[in-house]
Amino acid sequence: MWLLDVNMPKKLEAVPGGLGIHAECADYRGWGGLTDGTLVEAAVQAGFRCVLTRNRLFSESASGALKRFPTFCVVLVTIPQLRGPEFLTHFQSAWERSPVQPVECELMRLNGRPAR
């Protein structure tokens, strides 16, 4: 299961779902107010294996939790801020060019290459 951080469009749930990947929004679980580290802990306990986020500092702010849960992956989505439907189109296009394959204990970009 993949978790969509609160900074991701809720309608994005359908894109991974169409690819056979179960995705849920953090808000739908009542996790909208959690800090990044607490969100990682809650996500792991609920069976999620990665989080998709636009927060470039997520890994830094959640570093303690990520050390405790080394199998969890953070996927940094670097698509520019766009209106919902346009963002979904860009996300789908980026995914088709380079699908994300989460790697344990890695910070990944949408294109699947490790972030630097």
The domain spanning residue 44 has which CATH number?
A: 3.40.50
Range of the domain at 34: 2-109
Nearest CA to 50 out of 115, 110, 103 is that of 103
Residue 115 lies in a domain: no
Model pLDDT, residue 116: 45
C-beta atoms surrounding 116 within 10 Å: 5
Within-domain flag for 116: no
Residues 10-68 have pLDDT tens digits of 888 888 777 788 999 999 999 999 999 999 999 999 999 999 999 999 999 999 999 99
Q: What is the DSSP letter of 30?
A: T
38 in any annotated domain: yes
Total count of domains within the chain? 1
Q: Contact, 115 vs 78, CB < 8 A? A: no
**Residue 9: inside a domain:** yes
In a domain, 114, yes or no: no
Structure tokens at 32: 């909208």
